[in-house]
Chain A
Amino acid sequence: MAKRIAIECSHAISLAAKLANVDVVAAYPITPQTHIVEKLSEYVADGELDAEYINVESEHSAMSACIGASAVGARVFTATAGQGLALMHEMLFIAAGNRLPIVMAVANRSLSPNLNIWGDQSDMMASKDCGWIQIYAENAQEVFDFTLQAFKIAEDERVMLPVAINFDGFYVTHVIEPIIALDQEEVKKFLPPRKIPSYALHPDHPTTWGPIGLPDVQTELKRQLEEALRNSKTVIKEVWKEFGDMFGRYYDFFEPYRLEDAEIAILMMGGHCGTARIAVDRLREKGEKVGLIKLRLFRPFPDEELIKLTKNLKVLAIVDKAFSPGGLGGPVFTEVKALFYNQKIKPEIVGFIAGLGGRDIRVDEFMVAVERAKKALMGEKIDKGFMFLQVRE
């Protein structure tokens, strides 16, 4: 029976990986992810999880070992953050291109320099084009549910892609929260063991994997990856619906908040949505028609769904916890701007970069962002459409 427990968010991921009965865990410590793999080590040591636990010597080898284990048909899990994800970068593309259903938790952390172990989303965003399904979670319940769902999505024959569950370093990872935890029987019903594919590496049916691809095949290969990611949206919806029907918690690509009659909406991903909700409430008290759109799915990007959801909005204030130096703003901001470019009716889209390297985004700062976005609608444009929200000058 599902029961309500208090659990650290990191441990909620470990618990989900245990309930998913993973076969192989490849682990390397890095703050703020380490609690996840520590707890998994305890599970294995206590005989609660029957898995091969590979203490790899780097994150590059973590993902390499995951690739090898997944290629023989094992259910595989790993976790990383920040510099660790950056070191894995090369392998991320191969995991996706070779269509391996690996599930990885990313405790989002800022990239060096300076050495900064705290949260922002610059790690995953530097690898956003790696071909993985990328989901962002806000709290312990989401990371628990998303991890279980991720295996089912990844291993679906129509998908066969790795999934990254992102959650903010410290702001989410280290927080103890109440969740409804499922038990083993419930998880078994929702998530059967991985079916070993007929093409898995095995001497009974030799296959050649990862050959050299000349220019005559590379385009088609890349295009197939694009199709697989696009098509995965259908499967994600199905799996989330099935999960909701079984356990009563339904998920969508977005979680709108007080959006019904809103003219302005904050759009962002991850743990700071909680603070943004308070800002929305305060502004509502002042009579402002403000709402929040929490974006859960970054890849594949829910394009048509976002257009539909925002059709009555006048202003979208997008808060990114990452940016592209010398580029055109934060990754969610540039994505959304590109999406609306060809739309006849579109909101004013304003970008804010905030919450870098673990700096908190306060309620009043969200309110400032909304105020500034409103001014942009009235004609007081921001140079290039985006700005840093919290710079001390």
Chain B
Amino acid sequence: MAEKKVFFKSLKDLPKEDFFVQGHRACPGCGETIAVRLIMKAVGPNCIVITPTGCLEVVSSPYPYTSWAVPWYHVAFENAAAVASGVEAGLKALMRKGKLEKKRIHVIAIAGDGGTADIGLQALSGALERGHDFLYVCLDNEAYMNTGIQRSGSTPYGAWTTTSAVGKIMPGKLQWKKNVPAIAAAHDIPYVATACPAYPLDLVNKAKKAVEIDGPAYLHVLTPCVPGWRIPSNLSIKIARLAVQTGIFPLYEVEDGRLHVTVKVPKRKHVKEYLKLQGRFAHLTDGEIEKIQKRVDMESEKLGLGPRET
């Protein structure tokens, strides 16, 4: 078992300074920007951030304004990991050849689930396999929210989106969510973790650990989306917490191939506690909810999470 290192004992240990700053145009209650602000506090200013096309890019960079107090580059949708590869290789070569002062500069790609699970998966896989020293963060709001709530490979079973419509014969998305952290871990990279802004201390410690590790690291963060999940803006953190407490989104780390759960859930809540608060699941029948519960039970057992609350 790798040494368990705690970088921040409480949120008070985080720097007061922000590197993802106010003034961006995200919706009130946006889970994504809360997560990014925390991640950036954990990582600090000594980094270069690559963001593909998506909500985060659009809300944080309307020319001539920016919310980025660190060097930041948006290139396109499907290639954050490839651009990050080039940034990392460029810095490495320039430092080795004495053209840039030698120091560790963290290279971080921060993408959405569309840019990760779907269109960006090839570039991500390539970069992980090549072993670049970088952190890839997927902010998973479970659909293409920037273009208006379209289904992605990361959208969960049964969810309504504008392209997995709920109609007379179709009950929303028909397929299960793609397990991207498992795909990342299958590359045998040094560090893979899941996190969510409802457990901020867990999130910042994972982000810090991920950038400190040599080689590629992957951090998958569940980030509730107010308009996309059809939720009130004051409930996004609560819902993120329920995703963990129901076992729907377990928080774990995979280090050197070994998985361990970082936020224990001794008694799992029923998935309906999570589903019922969200308009995107409002149409689900009891039968469909039970189908989801069964799937979560099976996954939870694999991870060694606790039994369901009775």
Q: Is A51 an interface residue (CB 8 A)?
A: yes
Of the residues A66, A69, A91, A206, contact of B76 by C-beta under 8 Å: A91
B91 → chain A closest CB, angstroms:
6
The answer to whether A212 touches B62 (Cβ under 8 A) is yes
- Type the 1/0 row for A61-79, where 1 means its CB is closer than 8 Å to any CB of B: 1001111111111101000
Q: Is A16 an interface residue (CB 8 A)?
A: no
The answer to whether B58 touches A212 (Cβ under 8 A) is yes
- Type the 1/0 row for B69-98, where 1 means its CB is closer than 8 Å to any CB of A: 111111110110111111111111110110
Of the residues A52, A58, A64, A217, contact of B90 by C-beta under 8 Å: A52
Given A56-B85, A65-B85, A68-B85, decide whether A76 and B71 contact each other with a Cβ distance below 8 A: no
The answer to whether A69 touches B86 (Cβ under 8 A) is yes
A21 → chain B closest CB, angstroms:
8
Tell me how many residues of A have a C-beta within 8 Å of chain B: 45
Query: Complex Cα distance A201/B83, Å?
Result: 12
Given A54-B130, A202-B105, A211-B63, decide whether A24 and B71 contact each other with a Cβ distance below 8 A: no
Query: Complex Cα distance A73/B48, Å?
Result: 13
Q: Is A335 an interface residue (CB 8 A)?
A: no
The answer to whether A61 touches B85 (Cβ under 8 A) is yes
- By a CB distance below 8 angstroms, the chain B residues around A208 are 61, 66, 68, 71-72
Residue of B with least CB distance to A73: B94
B195 → chain A closest CB, angstroms:
24
Given A55-B130, A208-B72, decide whether A69 and B87 contact each other with a Cβ distance below 8 A: yes
The answer to whether A203 touches B74 (Cβ under 8 A) is no
Given A23-B97, A211-B63, A212-B62, decide whether A72 and B122 contact each other with a Cβ distance below 8 A: no
- By a CB distance below 8 angstroms, the chain B residues around A206 are 45, 68-72
- By a CB distance below 8 angstroms, the chain A residues around B126 are 56-58, 61
Query: Complex Cα distance A201/B48, Å?
Result: 7
- On B, residues with C-beta under 8 Å from A are 45-48, 50, 57-58, 61-64, 66, 68-76, 78-79, 81-94, 96-97, 99-100, 105, 122-123, 125-126, 129-130
- On A, residues with C-beta under 8 Å from B are 23-24, 26, 50-52, 54-58, 60-61, 64-74, 76, 90-91, 94, 98, 193, 196, 201-203, 205-214, 217
Starting from the known contacts A72-B48, A211-B57, 14 additional A-B residue pairs (CB-CB under 8 Å) come to: A23-B90, A24-B90, A52-B89, A56-B85, A61-B126, A64-B75, A64-B79, A68-B84, A74-B90, A196-B94, A203-B46, A208-B68, A212-B57, A212-B62
